[in-house]
Amino acid sequence: MIGGNESCTAGPVPMSYLTCLTYILGEWTGVEHIEDYLSYAVYLLWVLFPLAVVFLLPGVLIILFYTSILLLHIYKRKNELKEAYSNDFWDGAKQMLATLWDGHGRIWHGYELHGAENIPEGPGLIVFYHGATPADCVYFMAKLLIQKKRICLVVADHFVFRLPGFKLLLDVHGVMHGPKEECVNALKKGYLIAIAPGGVREALFSDEMYTIIWGNRKGFAQVAIDAKVPIIPMFTQNVREGVRTLGGIKILRSLYERIRLPVVPLYGGFPVKLRTFIGEPIPYEPNITAEELTAKTKAALQALIEKHQKLPGNIFRALMERFQTQKKED
């Protein structure tokens, strides 16, 4: 019996391996001129490959999150005896994950943190603009832990607590789902807390104009008043150019409002320059109302956006800023 490779090379005109494979596939499927269909399939793959990449790249963040969870389980397994006798059992794990995320931020985005001196020594409520993903907030928390040895808690949307496998990660980092009493108690204990009042709605449906979408949310302001702490505005330059959403499609907005789950597709994952800017604190005032403090905070955040973000956002420009040595102030 003659093998496949041997039959292809036999005869006066030897076939190439690709031609041979096409011939065998045509014989096996019974499709005439199968090489025309294969050529068309290769052409489609060539055309659609860049599109597939921009939708798959955001998955790197998911991989990093689950890598973090795996490392926490390994850390816990290797230190089970220490857990019973130590109050700071997870400190080493937090440093390890901070190093992982800080490394990713610096390598992929050239991440920088500016204005860290505006963060008070005591408690405070950090209010930030929510990009399509919370990666910039994670980079900030990692940088703060590495540089200042300070832990910043964060308030997350309810759906995050339903993600499979995330419980250990959320517990270790003290992620909260946002009851006012819990936030006030944490602030009174001296913690920093980060919160994005726009939440998932702002993440999915804001745009390259960096529109702040808070609706009537003012609970964060009441938390700051009750805890008697300052509010610190925070904004990350180019955060919407790194990952974008298809939030402009009206049917997706209607679907989100009905089921309250982040069903809007993301695309991008581009290695754009990310710089986080910390604004001057808004001090606690005993006679201010939640509505007034909300307006004041929104104005401060809008000022940071206008100062540090060129509008509308542009992906190519954000990529080119990786090669700039000085941050843009205008």
Task: Give me the pLDDT at residue 52, please.
Answer: 57
Catalytic residues: 130
> Sheet harboring 192-195: ordered strands across?
112-114, 275-278, 231-237, 124-128, 192-195, 152-154
Q: What is the mean pLDDT of the chain?
A: 86
Is this prediction's pTM over 0.85? Answer: no
Rounded to whole angstroms, the Cα distance separating 221 from 125 reads 9
Segment holding 61, helix H or strand E: helix 59-78
pLDDT digits (tens, 9 = 90+) for 218-249: 999 999 999 999 999 999 999 999 999 999 89
Contact 46, 67 (CB under 8 A): no
Mean pLDDT of 81-88: 58
Please list, in sequence order, all residues whose beta carbon lies within 8 angstroms of the beta carbon of residue 10, skipping any fewer than 6 positions away: 2
pLDDT digits (tens, 9 = 90+) for 151-183: 999 999 988 998 899 999 999 988 998 789 999
Looking at the structure, give the CATH architecture of the domain made up of residues 45-77+91-322.
Answer: 3-Layer(aba) Sandwich (3.40)
Q: Is the pLDDT of residue 9 over 70?
A: no
Would you call 111 helix, strand, or coil by DSSP? coil
Q: How many Å is the maximal CA-CA distance in the chain? A: 97
Strand partners, 155: 176
Segment holding 243, helix H or strand E: strand 243-245
